[in-house]
């Protein structure tokens, strides 16, 4: 039985995973409540420590995470490129207080949009990113959940989604993956960075009303949505009590 005793929220992989390895993916998905999730995140301090479930700057997690993302994206540099006549436009899904954009995406993109539904996080992100807002490096800030996002055709060179895909059940996750195919530039890249379930099934996390997918289910869903997995790496250097974290680099099966 996948009893996990550690942490809180979707970064740490949950202190309250229900013992439910017998449940089907559909059963797990039916437990996800968007409103419970928003209530939970709205109750959390708008800080790096808050969005990382207590594994903030006093721990090795934020630095290790950024080093891992930089290493991963640098290895992929020859595998994606900006579309002719366009800018290197990125988007940060489930952006929290802007941590990933500030420490990582602005270094790899000319301009970054952010999407985050929780009002206090959006307010804090604007302060945290003020320097980049002044420099014109921040585009739109969409204060909406990712299941409500409407893609702008061929806008993005790099789509980044970290530690928030589990907020969506598989049916909405598939729709979002489909929208990403519309939104990506020719030869652009989608990267998903998420915890993996160490059980043989997806696990519901009642703390933030999300789920933790197995690596197997991620791969199945990418394929079903018409995405080709071109590279994947495990995040190194995280405290051993945390769930494994994996980065998935994806390109549309059929280039748009
Ligand atoms: C674990 S935090 C990760 C934040 C950020 N990606 C980071 O790594 O610093 C999860 C984030 O997902 C956001 N979130 C929750 N439900 C969401 C949804 N339906 N769509 C988009 N983001 C959501 C939360 O408000 C929170 O900011």
For the chain, give every domain's residue range.
18-252
pLDDT at 243: 96
Assign 105 to helix, strand or coil: helix
Q: What is the ipTM of this complex?
A: 0.99
- In whole angstroms, what is the distance from residue 247 CA to residue 138 CA? 24
Distance CA 36, CA 239 (A): 28
Q: For atom 2 of ligand 1, which residue has the closest CA?
A: 51
Give the pLDDT confidence score for residue 255 in this predicted structure. 72
Q: Give the strands of the sheet with 111-115, arranged side by side.
A: 138-142, 111-115, 89-93, 156-162, 184-195, 245-252, 227-234
Q: Name the residue at shortest CA distance from atom 26 of ligand 1.
A: 96
Do the beta carbons of residue 205 and residue 13 sit within 8 Å?
A: yes
How far is it, in rounded angstroms, from Cα 16 to Cα 209? 11
Verify whether ligand 1 is closer than 6 Å to residue 109 (CB atom): no
Sign, Cα dihedral of 183, 189, 193, 194: positive
Only one residue has tokens 């999730």, namely: 37
Residue nearest to atom 16 of ligand 1 (CA): 167
End-to-end alpha-carbon separation of the chain, Å? 43
Given a cut of 90, whether residue 18 has pLDDT beyond it is no
Check whether 178 has a pLDDT greater than 60: yes
Contact 64, 237 (CB under 8 A): yes
pLDDT greater than 80 at residue 23: no
Q: To test the ligand 1 pocket, which listed residue (164, 169, 209) has its Cβ within 8 A of the most ligand atoms?
A: 164
Is the pLDDT reported for residue 184 higher than 80?
yes
Report, as an integer, the average pLDDT of 61-66: 98
pLDDT at 256: 63
CA of 24 from ligand 1 middle (Å) equals 25
Structure tokens given for 91: 């988007």
Measured in Å, residue 167 CA sits from the centre of ligand 1 at: 8
Q: How far is the CA of 110 from the centre of ligand 1 (A)?
A: 23
- Predicted local confidence at residue 40, as pLDDT: 98
Share of the chain above pLDDT 70, in %: 91
pTM for the whole structure: 0.94
Read off the pLDDT of each residue in 107-127 and give the average, rounded to a whole number: 98
The confidence band for 52, taking pLDDT boundaries of 50, 70 and 90, is very high
Nearest CA to ligand 1 atom 12: 94
Q: How confident is the model at residue 12 (pLDDT cuts 50, 70, 90)?
A: low
Determine if ligand 1 sits within 6 Å of the CB of residue 47. Answer: no
Can you tell me the distance from the alpha carbon of 66 to that of 156, in angstroms, rounded to the nearest whole number? 21
Q: Is the CB of 250 under 6 A from ligand 1?
A: no
* Mean pLDDT, all residues of the chain: 92
Pick the CATH number of 18-252 from 3.40.50.280, 1.10.10.10, 3.40.50.150, 3.30.360.10: 3.40.50.150
Per-residue model confidence (pLDDT) at position 240:
92
Report percent pLDDT > 90 for the chain.
89
The answer, yes or no, to whether any atom of ligand 1 lies below 6 A from the CB of 146, is yes
Q: Ligand 1: distance of its center to the CA of 85 in Å?
A: 32
What confidence tier does 16 reach under pLDDT thresholds 50, 70, 90?
Answer: very low
Q: How are beta strands 138-142 and 111-115 bridged, if at all?
A: parallel
- Pairing relation of β-strands 184-195 and 156-162? parallel
pLDDT tier at 4, thresholds 50, 70, 90? very low
Looking at per-residue confidence, does 93 or 18 come out higher?
A: 93
Classify 21 as helix, strand or coil.
coil
How many angstroms separate the CA atoms of 124 and 175, rounded?
A: 29
Q: Please, which residues have CB within 8 angstroms of residue 186's CB and are 6 or more apart in sequence?
A: 83, 154, 255, 256
Q: Contact, 137 vs 90, CB < 8 A?
A: no
pLDDT bin (cut points 50, 70, 90) of residue 15 is: very low
Q: Which of 167, 172, 193 is the pocket-test mutation for ligand 1 (most atoms within 8 Å of CB)?
A: 167
């Amino acid at each position: 039985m996948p009893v996990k005793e550690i942490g809180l929220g979707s970064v740490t992989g949950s202190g309250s995973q229900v013992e439910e390895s017998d449940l089907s993916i559909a059963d797990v998905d039916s437990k996800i409540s968007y409103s419970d999730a928003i209530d939970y995140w709205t109750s959390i301090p708008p800080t790096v420590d808050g969005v990382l479930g207590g594994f903030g700057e006093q721990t090795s997690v934020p630095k290790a995470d950024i080093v891992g993302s930089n290493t991963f994206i640098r290895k992929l540099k020859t595998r994606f490129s900006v579309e002719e006549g366009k800018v290197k436009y990125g988007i940060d899904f489930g952006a929290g207080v802007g941590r990933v954009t500030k420490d990582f995406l602005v270094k790899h993109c000319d301009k970054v949009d952010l999407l985050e539904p929780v009002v206090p996080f959006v307010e804090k992100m604007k302060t945290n990113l003020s320097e980049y807002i002044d420099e014109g490096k921040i585009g739109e800030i969409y204060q909406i959940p990712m299941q409500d996002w409407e893609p702008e055709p061929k806008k993005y060179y790099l789509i980044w989604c970290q530690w928030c895909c589990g907020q969506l059940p598989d049916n909405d996750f598939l729709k979002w993956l489909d929208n990403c195919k519309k939104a990506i530039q020719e030869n652009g890249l989608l990267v998903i960075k998420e915890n993996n379930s160490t059980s043989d099934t997806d696990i519901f996390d009642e703390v933030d009303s999300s789920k933790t997918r197995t690596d197997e289910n991620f791969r199945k869903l990418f394929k079903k949505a018409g995405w080709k997995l071109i590279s994947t790496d495990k995040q190194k250097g995280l405290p051993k009590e945390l769930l494994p974290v994996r980065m998935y680099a994806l390109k549309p099966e059929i280039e748009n």
